Amino acid sequence: MGKFKFNPTRLKGVYVIEPTVFGDERGYFMETYSETDFREAGLDYEFVQDNQSSSWRGVLRGLHFQKEHPQAKLVRVLSGEVFDVAVDLRENSPTYGQWVGELLSADNKKQLMIPRGFAHGFLVVSETAEFAYKCDEFYHPEDEGGMMYDSCGIEWPEVEGELVLSEKDLKHPKLSELEFKFKEV
């Protein structure tokens, strides 16, 4: 039995990944990444940076991307639950502007593999959540890009109270106003 189940989504290159979890009376063990298994599944990435954030219910981070230094991301939740989203921004893609979303949680242990050429964001739907992700390119603050979270029909889950976004995220253009598109990635 493989250590991972790689489930393709309707957007080429985006996968929901389910690790095999081994549990007993002590708890559980799982691998969250294996270069060999991922390469055998056609996901050939060299991750160079790991990031982690903590947020509370209603915090929406995104939708983000880097323009000249695009990043592929392998994302997962360490505690709590988030609704994670990838939006296709590849110029010649037949699914340009379309999105996929997945509930990721510490309980379901699912991960989302997002290739280069996508905007990414997530909404915390539990009381709090710790979110972790691997990137195949370093973060370049001068290279940040983004688009407004509500501009491409994403069906965000309802949460109690107001959404909490950073000032920067509130100033991103809508998809229809976005002047940037990924060429070949």
Q: Which residues are catalytic?
A: 64, 133
DSSP structural state of residue 176: G
Is the sign of the CA dihedral 126, 130, 134, 140 positive or negative?
positive
Q: What is the CA radius of gyration of the chain?
A: 16
**Spatial distance between the Cα atoms of 175 and 69, rounded to a whole number of angstroms:** 20
Task: Tell me which residue of 74, 76, 80 sits closest to 57, measured CA to CA.
Answer: 80
**CB atoms closer than 10 angstroms to residue 60:** 22
Is the sign of the CA dihedral 184, 70, 97, 100 positive or negative?
positive
**Spatial distance between the Cα atoms of 57 and 160, rounded to a whole number of angstroms:** 8
Beta bridge pairs of residue 82: 104, 124
